[in-house]
Structure 1
Amino acid sequence: MHNDQEKVVEIRGLVKSFGDNHVLKGVDLDLYKGENLVVLGKSGSGKSVLIKLMVSLLKQDEGTIKIFGIDTAGLNLKELNKFRLRIGFSFQASALYDSMTVRENLEFPLVRNVKNLTKKEIDKRIEELLDAVALPKTINQMPSELSGGQKKRIGIARTLILNPEIMLYDEPTAGLDPVTCIEINNLINEVRERFKTSSIVITHDLTCAKQTGDRMAVLIEGQFNSVGTFEKVFEEATDQQVKSFYDYNFIK
């Protein structure tokens, strides 16, 4: 399926421990250009550690992470900061600044990272992104006036404001009601179409995995024990933990 496609992320032999807690035990993973890849795992399985390693918020014990063909371990701080602008990281909590309006929240990363933009260019970009997440009327609201789902959308808009090539979504549907979950899943797919992103979606929500993932990788006890389409992973599941995942989500 991917023979002719370029890899934007290539992870090999990734190991990370915190003391005696061996979180990742030799993980391999590829993300292809234009793909939505879901990383599925229980809480505490190391999903978030994986994406923190990718943006160098943590350092691996062993293994390599190549993003856009660049080995991230070799970057100095200045190179790393420039490099991080190409990756959008959407945190589990929307990470909006409570004291700023929606407009100011979106403006902040732009003004900080892109020099010489005119007021008009900034306004145009903000309006375009609020339109993309279907919340144009919230521009002057404070985060406290928004619902959980709206905050999540604005958080995604703020992540997109710098035009990242890769999006990392950390538990995008956590804490949201089922209808809002479906809206966020649809938004993740729309973002890919509209902004031509490649994405890793970290989740333990199978509906999210099924709706957004071209492929999924199941992280169990520090390793990916099955990688493939949603159907393939669950049809061929021999591992009881993969099966129990499916049962937990779909057989209530």
Structure 2
Amino acid sequence: MEEKVVEIKGLKKSFGDLKVLQGVDLDLHKGENLVVLGKSGSGKSVLIKIMVGLLRQDAGMMKVLGQEVSTLNTKALNALRLKIGFSFQNSALYDSMTVRENMEFPLVRNVKNLTRGEITKKIEGLLDSVGLPQSINQMPSELSGGQKKRIGVARTLILNPEIMLYDEPTAGLDPITCSEINNLILEVKERFNTSSIVITHDLTCAKDTGDRMAVLLDGQFKAMGTFEEVFTHADDQRVKSFYDYNFIHS
């Protein structure tokens, strides 16, 4: 039996009359890349915010690494968040800091008693792992969009997270850079033994990075399985039209 690092059952969330999640069931297994597909406004981000305790569900269960998130106090929630790496859509680098300082920030803030040498070694190792060792003293303004994404991923990895969350990792990037980021997501899984949720509406990203897909429509997962299973056997016309829009009209 595969170990579940995230377990979601009957999850519901509304904002006033707007029903965003309407009874969602989902599991993330250890060592798996799970892609959550959906159009803008489908509830993908709400799902992630509940996972890290930024929002609370109206009903249902959200267990992360064996803990029901909604029952955790502030201290326990903060401890859990340190085990979850969040790669933001815009990379979320501090413009006034060098790459080194951006990488140092979460490390110095959360890990005590590290020597200057240990910090530098860890930063250099992670920059090397994302193919950007030479950028350590650069400012974010000197980096391309793809380089910022890579640095953002490296900074996320600095606290050795067990779970990685990628929010639209290929948004706004050219096709070649998209391919590089997709490969990086696969390399991170292999090298750092992470379990990942990749939120995207880019089907090329989904196909290249995902072990499994889950398609979120109208607040529920309407299809789940491998890329071929989801899109070859899609009974729901909306799942098929999602594929057509990405691959025929783009």
TM interval, short-chain normalised: over 0.9
Q: Which of 72, 81, 85 is the equivalent residue of 1:88?
A: 85
Deviation at 1:20, TM superposition (A): 1.4
Which residues of 2 match residues 1-252 of structure 1 at below 5 A? 4-252=1-249
Q: Which moved more, 1:194-203 or 1:87-96?
A: 87-96
- CA–CA distance in 2 between the matches of 1:199 and 1:96? 21
- CA–CA distance in 2 between the matches of 1:211 and 1:102? 28
Deviation at 1:18, TM superposition (A): 1.1
Deviation at 1:137, TM superposition (A): 0.5
Deviation at 1:21, TM superposition (A): 1.2
Q: Secondary structure at the match of 1:234?
A: helix
- CA–CA distance in 1 between the matches of 2:97 and 2:115? 20
State the aligned residue count. Answer: 249
Q: Secondary structure at the match of 1:152?
A: helix
Q: Secondary structure at the match of 1:14?
A: strand
Deviation at 1:248, TM superposition (A): 0.7
The letter for the 1-side match of 2:99 is V
- CA–CA distance in 2 between the matches of 1:17 and 1:160? 32
Q: Secondary structure at the match of 2:12?
A: strand
- CA–CA distance in 1 between the matches of 2:15 and 2:130? 37
Identical aligned residues as a percent: 78
Q: Secondary structure at the match of 2:123?
A: helix
The letter for the 2-side match of 1:68 is L
- CA–CA distance in 2 between the matches of 1:48 and 1:64? 17
Q: Secondary structure at the match of 2:119?
A: helix
* Alignment TM-score, normalising by the size of structure 2: 0.99
Deviation at 1:71, TM superposition (A): 0.8
- CA–CA distance in 1 between the matches of 2:241 and 2:5? 32
- CA–CA distance in 1 between the matches of 2:60 and 2:26? 11
- CA–CA distance in 1 between the matches of 2:60 and 2:181? 33
Q: String of CA shifts for 1:36-84, please: whole Å, max 9, x gaps.
A: 0000000110111111110011111111111111111111001111111
- CA–CA distance in 2 between the matches of 1:240 and 1:93? 32
- CA–CA distance in 2 between the matches of 1:161 and 1:213? 23
Deviation at 1:6, TM superposition (A): 0.4
The letter for the 2-side match of 1:208 is C
* Alignment TM-score, normalising by the size of structure 1: 0.98
Cα RMSD for the two superposed structures: 0.6
Q: Structure 1: give runs of 5+ residues left out of the alignment.
A: none
